[in-house]
Structure 1
Amino acid sequence: MELKKICDGLDFPEGPIAMADGTVILVEIRRGTLSRVHPDGRIDVVAELGGGPNGAAVGPDGMIYVCNNGGFVWTKGEPIRRPIGTPEDYISGSIQRVDPDTGIFETIYDSCDGQPLRGPNDIVFDTEGGFYFTDLGKSNPEYMHHGAFYYAKTDGSSIRRVHAPMITPNGIGLSPDGRSVYVAETRTSRVWSFDIIRPGEIAPVRFDMPGRLVTTLPNYQLLDSLAVQEDGHICVATLMRGGISVVPPEGGEVSFVEVPGDPYITNICFGGDDMRDAWITASGTGCLYHMRWPTPGLKLNFNG
């Protein structure tokens, strides 16, 4: 598979969305923006969101819904830029709704049941128009919050904690039949599956196994965001090894697609007429790549 660099100069890009016009909308976490990358590599700022915009998805109203982690402390003077802590001015995380045409945005959630959102990370919409999102938590040298994943409505009327505690839940996606939700944990290198009973509610989990364990990657491979293929396989961006792990939904051998030159491969999304155009964010070096994927990606419910 040929890897093509679309652009560089992005400030820790994540959350790519393949749009119908051929552009890719993504976040630049360190820059604090929602941005649009054109096929020729031009970068336009859609909105100045502040904090740490992270995962992003198109909602049923055509708006872009952004998980904002509240911001990071960043490395300085290293060739690979990476987040290393929580800034002193951090207040909370949030979910933001952005008009991609005007850049006007609003915060629709910053807490659940009176508890602040810590570090919202990745997001996916179901067929009902609600969305699941992960909250990775925040950390410093002395503590790390437990994480969770949530379900919310776009009008700001309802948010619920679906499952907690989790250890750094990051990527989230739905199975092709919409009956399972997948969550990748960064620090445990695990991908979990949960059975959905109804929107925002999962089947009870066993006390000795907090979900169905799909896979645990060996060695020091950390997991980031994910996307699902049309055949149900789970494509998980894999930090430190630098590439995309392709995980069978029922377990089994995991294959790997390397993206050279950056250990911080953080996201993959699919688009194009045949859903085989894959866009991959290399966050540490600030690049967006394109490749033709061997298997079609799963079309999202409200893709732009």
Structure 2
Amino acid sequence: PIDYRGIIALKTVIDLQHFEKAAQKLNITQSAVTQRIKTLEKSFGEPLLIRSLPYKATKLGEVLLNHQRRVEFLEGSLYEKVEIERLKAKFSIAINHDALETWLMETIVGIPAFQTFHLEVITEDQELTLDLLENARVLACISTNHKRMSGCDSAFLGEFEYVLVCSSQFKEKYFKNDRSLKDNLLDSPYLSFNYKDQLNQIYMARMFNCELNADNTHIIPSVKGFREMTLAGFGWALIPRIDIVDCLADGRLIILESTKTWRMPLYWHYWQLPDRKYQRLNQLFIEKAQKRLHLK
């Protein structure tokens, strides 16, 4: 193999016209500079440096120096290409639909550094996003799971509040005053985002210690559609408070039980990669999201 340390020592001596200055620049001893050039000459079997001032390369030495210049040019081009590719790198995030269509995009737009990446947002149930990170499908995710994976960091972002709501027309049609809220909920239709959505089931188990009838639901895989179907009286639903502030204020939707809101903890998980730009971007996102979610 070519001894590039020897070629660099040769080039530095010729450039600076001084062995001691060459040693200082290379951060080695003067004898080490001499030894590197001698070792290089030994490997090629002939002198490479004319050892009288001004120092010059021999014919073969000049061939090696020209080769070194091409190597340096190629390295510069390589680093430039790497930087270009870095700028084109894809930043994949796994999140749930509610976060995407309520607070997440406003947070991302507020961080100009995201524009240096090609952003890819993958939507999945909040209980499953961590699987995508573990399988290296994404670089970061939002999850309700606080457990930190090996090779990853995590940060608590805040709590996402869901409220139990329906339209006044729906309540008049399905809810009987002589029955408990639990029984009324069990016997009336409700809305689910998709078949993976377990929020309603988890909510009922935690708040009322019961299980919903899975056949008594409307599947609406759209955050906007979910809200509109609730407004139209198709069923009761758990909806992020942040998404229905106006609807609650003007009475189009009513909260069925104000003491039984669901506060979902959200965590940002991301790989421990050495890239400073990636690490900085994660920290910026965490800070912005915590403010957006009113972390206390």
TM normalised by structure 1 equals: 0.22
- Higher normalized contact order (CA 8 Å, seq sep 6+, divided by chain length): 2
Please state which structure has a larger fraction of its residues in strand.
1
Please state which structure has a larger fraction of its residues in helix.
2
The structure with the larger Rg is: 2
TM normalised by structure 2 equals: 0.22
